[in-house]
Structure 1
């Protein structure tokens, strides 16, 4: 059946404490020993408290399911609906103390970029059109201006041609590239609106209209400029 390892040529040296090892000619003769080894391994696994090898795949599957559910809850969770309502800009008022102050000696420029001393055009109603050309409001002011009062439109970067105003006073279009008037007033240009200044012949600021809405905003003060 089998022969000891010591009698067989070519076998490696085995530890002497193993004793005499016999290698069978038929592998089926080892079935009983193999079954005994498997039983001992199973008993050892149960004694050590090890779980079956399916525990790890089940844990990974559980984590994947929980992650998917959390994502679905985050997407479908009802959110508070907020409707954005743009704020309506409130009319702004000129800084206190402007009325009664002397207009600074500024040089504006005409369409040919020639300097024009502002004080040489007084008394005047000055309309700042850097935020809006506002032709209808300029024409209305030209109609209301009394004789002897200059109506001036002032653009921010270039001279703006005045709209035709038949039967009304002439309009002098100028520009203020340096922004001297806005700096003096501390009033920023607002899109869609024009600002008016009424200045008497001595250079004193009589009235400031931050946003012209109608001729009634300045009519009485404009009439007094010509007296």
Structure 2
């Protein structure tokens, strides 16, 4: 039958714990505390023995000095300032590029004004049909380039004659009024409208009973003077004169028409 030494010093089943061997004397007095956190120092010492830390090199000891740490901190601050300035400059440059490339509201080109003239409210001559001296419908844009004289309330026979004389043969001249001409005047205008002029120039006396042309062009009411509209061969209104008493007022524009 095996003895107690055959079981590693532990008693056999059913044996008494009082027969356990004592701890070696060289271990000294072993005290097991109630709070295991009191053994933290011993744990750190054991870990240090198991995992020894390699000794720091000379340059590592040099860089760990307080003066070197302060120098590294100052160098970091000095490096951050230029980086921040460069970053802000890049952001401002990119923002200005986007602002210059972004389409803004379109600006209308400024037109040079002459005395007695205003820019035309409508840049294209309306496609109206007026009434000829013989009662037939006459397309307002039937012949271009064109000078339209609105002669309501105006004794404009001389103005019409001066305009015809100043205009080139290919420029038609229309004298437009809202009033219904008398019988004698109607016959005279009918003859003028049907009989070609010797100089090849076109002059027509037309009626606009409702005053639609003056309304669509935004012209002021009649005041004893005529209004003149100069239209290019594409139907674009080049110049509008709201108060005209003599063709000399628009002579330079007639030459460029």
TM-score by length of 1: 0.52
Q: Does the Cα contact within 8 Å between 1:108 and 1:175 map onto a contact in 2?
A: yes
2:224 counterpart of 1:192: yes
Please point out which of 190, 199, 204 is paired with 2:236.
204
1:111, distance to aligned residue in structure 2 (A): 1.4
- 1:87-166 paired onto structure 2 within 5 Å: 94=118, 96=119, 98=121, 101-158=123-180
In 2 relative to 1, CA 143–197 (structure 1 residues): closer, same or farther, beyond 3 Å? Answer: same
Distance 1:179 1:135 in 2: 20
| 1:180 corresponds to 2:195 | no
In the alignment of these two chains, the number of paired residues is 133
Greater share of helix residues, 1 or 2? 2
Determine if the alignment matches structure 1 residue 224 to structure 2 residue 256: yes
Instruction: After superposition, give the CA deviation of every residue in 1:111-159 in whole Å (9 maximum; x if it has no partner).
Output: 1221111111211000001121311111111100102000110011336
Label 1:214 to 1:170 Cα distance change in 2 as closer, same or farther (>3 A).
same
Contact 2:116 2:244 in 1 (8 A): no
Measure the CA separation in 2 of the matches of 1:201 and 1:187. Answer: 22
Structure with the greater alpha carbon radius of gyration: 2
Q: Is the 8 A contact 1:131 1:189 kept in 2?
A: no
2: CA distance between counterparts of 1:114 and 1:182? 20
Cα-Cα RMSD:
2.8
Shift of 1:191: 3.4
- Give yes or no for contact 1:143–1:168 (8 Å, CA) kept in 2: no
Following the alignment from structure 2 to structure 1, what is the Cα–Cα distance between the partners of residues 221 and 153? 5
Q: CA deviation at 1:195?
A: 0.6
Is 2:246 the counterpart of 1:214? yes
Q: TM-score, normalised by structure 2?
A: 0.46
